[in-house]
Amino acid sequence: MPILVPDINLRIIAPALIVTVTAIVVLLGELVTPAERKRWLGYLSIAGLVVAAFAAFSLWGANASGFSGMVVADNFGLFLTLTIALSAALSILLSIPFIHAHEIDQGEYYVLLLASVAGMIVMATATDLIVIFLGLELLSLPLYILAAFQREDTRSLEAGIKYFLLGAFSSAFFLYGIALVFGATGTTNLAKIAASLAQSAGSPMLSIGVGLLMVGFAFKVALVPFHWWTPDVYDGAPTTVTAFMSVAVKAAAFGAFFRTFQFALPALALDWRAVAAVLAVLTMTLGNVAALLQSNVKRMLAYSSIAHAGYILIALVAMSANGLSSALFYLLAYTVTNLGAFGAVIALSDGARERLEIKDFAGAAREHPLVALALTICLLSLAGFPPFAGFVGKFLIFGAAVETGWAWLAVIGVLNSLVSVYFYLRPVVQMYMSEPAEGWSGIRVAPLVALALLIAVISVIALGVFPAPAIALAAGGLIR
C-beta of 145: minimal distance to another protein in Å? 6
Given candidates 65, 326, 335, 459, which one binds another protein under the rule CB under 8 A?
Answer: 326
Q: Binders of another protein among 332-371, rule CB under 8 A? A: 369-370
CB 72 within 8 A of CB 12: yes
Site for another protein contains 254 (CB under 8 A): no
Alpha-carbon gap, residue 314 to 294, rounded angstroms: 25
Given candidates 24, 28, 47, 411, which one binds another protein under the rule CB under 8 A?
Answer: 411
> How many binding residues for another protein (CB under 8 A)?
109
42 vs 219 by CB, closer to another protein: 219
Site for another protein contains 275 (CB under 8 A): yes
Site for another protein contains 321 (CB under 8 A): yes
Q: What is the DSSP string of 151-202?
A: TT-HHHHHHHHHHHHHHHHHHHHHHHHHHHHHHHHS--BHHHHHHHHHHS--
C-beta of 46: minimal distance to another protein in Å? 26
Find the helix or strand (DSSP H, E) in which 68 lies. Answer: none
In sequence order, the 6+-apart residues with CB closer than 8 A to the CB of 417 are 311, 383, 384, 394
Q: Binders of another protein among 107-146, rule CB under 8 A? A: 130, 133-134, 137, 141, 144-145
Given candidates 421, 437, 451, 454, which one binds another protein under the rule CB under 8 A?
Answer: 421
C-beta of 3: minimal distance to another protein in Å? 7
Q: Binders of another protein among 230-249, rule CB under 8 A? A: 231-232, 235-236
Given candidates 1, 5, 198, 201, which one binds another protein under the rule CB under 8 A?
Answer: 1
Alpha-carbon gap, residue 220 to 360, rounded angstroms: 31
Q: Binders of another protein among 181-200, rule CB under 8 A? A: 182-183, 186-188
Find the helix or strand (DSSP H, E) in which 72 lies. Answer: strand 71-73
Given candidates 429, 444, 447, 480, which one binds another protein under the rule CB under 8 A?
Answer: 429
Q: How many CB atoms lie under 10 A from the CB of residue 235? A: 22
Q: Note the maximum CA span of the chain.
A: 78
Residue closest to 89 by CA, chosen among 36, 17, 143, 22: 22
CA dihedral 220, 226, 230, 231 (to 10 degrees): 170
Given candidates 47, 274, 352, 458, which one binds another protein under the rule CB under 8 A?
Answer: 274
41 vs 212 by CB, closer to another protein: 212
CB 283 within 8 A of CB 307: yes
Residue closest to 353 by CA, chosen among 435, 239, 452, 231: 239
C-beta of 139: minimal distance to another protein in Å? 13
Given candidates 17, 39, 54, 211, which one binds another protein under the rule CB under 8 A?
Answer: 211
In sequence order, the 6+-apart residues with CB closer than 8 A to the CB of 130 are 70, 178, 188
Alpha-carbon gap, residue 357 to 364, rounded angstroms: 13
Given candidates 228, 352, 359, 447, which one binds another protein under the rule CB under 8 A?
Answer: 228
Of 47-55, 85-93, 339-347, 404-412, the window that binds another protein (rule: CB under 8 A) is: 404-412
Given candidates 208, 437, 451, 462, which one binds another protein under the rule CB under 8 A?
Answer: 208
Q: Binders of another protein among 46-85, rule CB under 8 A? A: none
HSE-CB at 357 with a 13 A cutoff on CA atoms is 5
Q: Binders of another protein among 143-182, rule CB under 8 A? A: 144-145, 148, 151-152, 154-155, 157-162, 164-166, 168-173, 175-176, 178-180, 182
C-beta of 318: minimal distance to another protein in Å? 12
Given candidates 418, 439, 444, 447, which one binds another protein under the rule CB under 8 A?
Answer: 418
CB 390 within 8 A of CB 337: yes
Site for another protein contains 30 (CB under 8 A): no
CB 312 within 8 A of CB 249: no
Site for another protein contains 462 (CB under 8 A): no
In sequence order, the 6+-apart residues with CB closer than 8 A to the CB of 314 are 277, 280, 323, 397, 398, 400, 401, 406, 409, 410, 413
257 vs 398 by CB, closer to another protein: 398
C-beta of 52: minimal distance to another protein in Å? 23
